[in-house]
Amino acid sequence: MATVEMSFTPLPAHVRTARLVATAVARRSGVDEALLDEVRLAVGEACSRAVEAHQEHCPAEPVRVALTGTEGRFEVVVTDTAAQGSGAANAADADGGAKGGSEAPGGERQAAAGKPRRQAVPAELGLAVIEGLADDVEIARTKAGLSIRMSWPSAAVAG
């Protein structure tokens, strides 16, 4: 099977579409029915992470997803082009500012200063969830962003 590539505007509503497309391509690639929920959930988590990063750092850039069914494997690569250096801290600052609206700016910064530790746990937990759902996972962090490659076993499907 050829590679199916899609890109979408970084909006949470598009994550559902990406999950549906990934599940359909996985089924067509011969992934066992028992694994389709794992594909759907892992792709949804990876796309949600990419959408969040793009909304923070580059909302005009699309999230990219490549789906490939090769002999014996179904592979999904979700790539974001958001710089990942201080994304968690920036997201924490934004959350701290929104929740601490009645505090002085210095108070907001102090509230946000405690936030990065809490923010980092869900991000790492999301990667752990992906690693638990996919048969094989490779995560590559570059200056340009993050690429998550996930794969599952598939049966050979007659064309």
Dump pLDDT digits (tens) for 83-95. 654 343 333 333 3
Residue 120 has pLDDT above 60, yes or no: no
pTM of the model: 0.74
Give the pLDDT score at 124.
73
Which residues share a beta bridge with 145? 142
Give the pLDDT score at 110.
37
Structure-token pair, residue 52: 């969040």
Write out pLDDT tens, residues 9-52.
999 999 999 999 999 999 999 999 999 999 999 999 999 999 99
User: If DSSP codes are grouped into helix, strand and coil, which group holds residue 10?
Assistant: coil
Instruction: Give CA–CA dist 65/5, Å, rounded.
Output: 6
Q: Which amino acid is at 86?
A: S
CA angle 56, 135, 83 (to 5 degrees): 20
Nearest to 80 by CA among 44, 113, 43, 54: 54
